[in-house]
Amino acid sequence: MKIEKGKLKNVFGLFTPLTLWGRGWGMGLLIIASANLLILLSSCGGNKTVEVAPPFQLTDTMLARTEFADATIQQLKNELKLFGKIAADNNKLVEIVPVVGGYVTAVNVELGDYVEKGQTLAVIRSGEVAEYEKQRLDAQSDVLLAEKNLQVAKDLFNSKLSSEKEVIAAQKELEKAQAELKRVNEVFSIYSLSNNAQYFVKAPISGFVVEKRINRDMQLRSDRSENIFDIAQIDEVWVLANVNESDIAKIKLGYDAAVKTISYADKIFNGKVDRIFNVIDPETRAMKVRIKIPNKDYLLKPEMNCYITLHYEEDKKMIAVPASSLVFDKSKTFVMIYKDRANIETRPVEVYRQVGDVAYIASGMQEGEKVISKNQLLIYDALND
């Protein structure tokens, strides 16, 4: 019995090319594999003839699930990893120092509270305020006395009993008394002083209490120079990053910065380097750079630690492909070069650098070649197992 070429049927009566299942392929990838052999039997001599079927190719279903990217020449990018912390904008931070000493009778806010401009933060009972009260009473009395003296001088002048010189002198005394009263009233207004020897510590701006060094029943010295509150507006914050001496030459203004914190591990805050502090900290042996970050939702808090990645371009161009297209196997890096569904090449390449989702290729590829950037591992395994 002799069976003609191309008409061999299997024991079930059907011609069945080998189809690769598993590896997550489903039925999408059809492999007409080289391992699929047609065995032709001869009834006379029992000789076997082996014919290799067509090679691997992608089905329509698998092709629709696969993504591709062109190799392009791009400016070589680099990145620099830094460590730093969040700080309040110094231009929007106010330190509050008490103008008088005394006994703290009330503290109305705590660290981290939001306060409005003019809100009373604390109350201090002070002997110095009592002295200012005395000065104001004396000034008010001097004004009343000067007004009466001026009126008497005018009456005498009108009665021809005194000269105009006495009227002018009385007018000057009144103006002097009024100036002193105005000065004392300004002191009361500026420093929020009141009757009963009380000094009201008020917020000069709206913002958050980021520092508090005062408690109820505390005794404050009149010569105290240390601030008792710090109020800061943090709708925009600073990121102060430390740059090692070896990296100083790489830093330039305008670099894009991506900031991450421990508190929000999955969130990236973006900004730009807007200032370089050209001094070395003698303790850390590092130079600081500043990055401004919008903070509308107040997620970033002063003194938070953070990690900063600076992105910049080098004066060089290279072939670039998506980093997702790389396949690492046998201590080498490969890409899958796509020409058509039945012509896919496994190509070894040398990666110069990977920055984010972009890989720069030093050798092994040409501009315009198409690589598989999704499902390339499955195709690599099918072709190279």
Tell me, yes or no, whether 131 and 45 share the same domain: no
pLDDT > 70 fraction of the chain, expressed in percent and rounded: 86
Q: What are the structure tokens assigned to 130, written together?
A: 């009592």
pLDDT at residue 194 in the model: 76
Q: How confident is the model at residue 159 (pLDDT cuts 50, 70, 90)?
A: confident
Q: What are the structure tokens assigned to 34, written together?
A: 């080289």
Final residue in a domain of this structure, among 315, 338, 359: 315
Tell me, yes or no, whether 285 and 325 share the same domain: no
Q: What is the Cα–Cα distance from 84 to 271, expressed in whole angstroms? A: 14
Work out how many domains the chain is built from and give that number: 4
pLDDT at residue 175 in the model: 94
Q: How far from the centroid of its chain's Cα atoms is residue 84's Cα?
A: 11
Tell me, yes or no, whether 195 and 283 share the same domain: no
CATH for 227? 2.40.50.100
Tell me, yes or no, whether 173 and 58 share the same domain: no
Tell me, yes or no, whether 227 and 336 share the same domain: no
Tell me, yes or no, whether 277 and 335 share the same domain: no
CA angle in degrees (0–180, nearest 5) for 47-49-53: 160
- DSSP classification of residue 221: P
Return the residue matching tokens 């900290």: 281
Q: What is the Cα–Cα distance from 168 to 165, expressed in whole angstroms? A: 5
Residues facing residue 240 across a β-bridge: 85, 290
Q: Which domain holds residue 329?
A: 67-74+316-384
Tell me, yes or no, whether 201 and 243 share the same domain: no
Residues 6+ apart with CB under 8 A from 15: 8, 9
Tell me, yes or no, whether 257 and 305 share the same domain: yes
CATH for 325? 2.40.420.20
In 3D space, the residue among 75, 71, 32 whose CA is nearest the CA of residue 54 turns out to be: 32
Report which of residues 172 and 13 the model is more confident about: 172
Q: Is the pTM of this model over 0.75?
A: no
Tell me, yes or no, whether 119 and 217 share the same domain: yes
CATH for 286? 2.40.30.170
Q: What is the Cα–Cα distance from 293 to 264, expressed in whole angstroms? A: 15
Mean of per-residue pLDDT scores for the chain: 84
Q: What is the Cα–Cα distance from 358 to 327, expressed in whole angstroms? A: 14
Tell me, yes or no, whether 303 and 259 share the same domain: yes
Q: How confident is the model at residue 4 (pLDDT cuts 50, 70, 90)?
A: very low
For the packed helices 127-158 and 164-190, what is the interaxial angle rounded to 10 degrees?
Answer: 160
Q: How confident is the model at residue 54 (pLDDT cuts 50, 70, 90)?
A: low
Q: How confident is the model at residue 35 (pLDDT cuts 50, 70, 90)?
A: very low
Tell me, yes or no, whether 286 and 327 share the same domain: no
Q: How confident is the model at residue 144 (pLDDT cuts 50, 70, 90)?
A: very high
Final residue in a domain of this structure, among 231, 252, 281: 231
Which of 88-97, 195-204, 334-343, 360-369 is least confident?
Answer: 195-204
Q: What are the structure tokens assigned to 240, written together?
A: 């102060």
Q: What is the Cα–Cα distance from 210 to 240, expressed in whole angstroms? A: 17
Report which of residues 155 and 48 the model is more confident about: 155
Final residue in a domain of this structure, among 180, 196, 231: 231
Tell me, yes or no, whether 114 and 211 share the same domain: yes
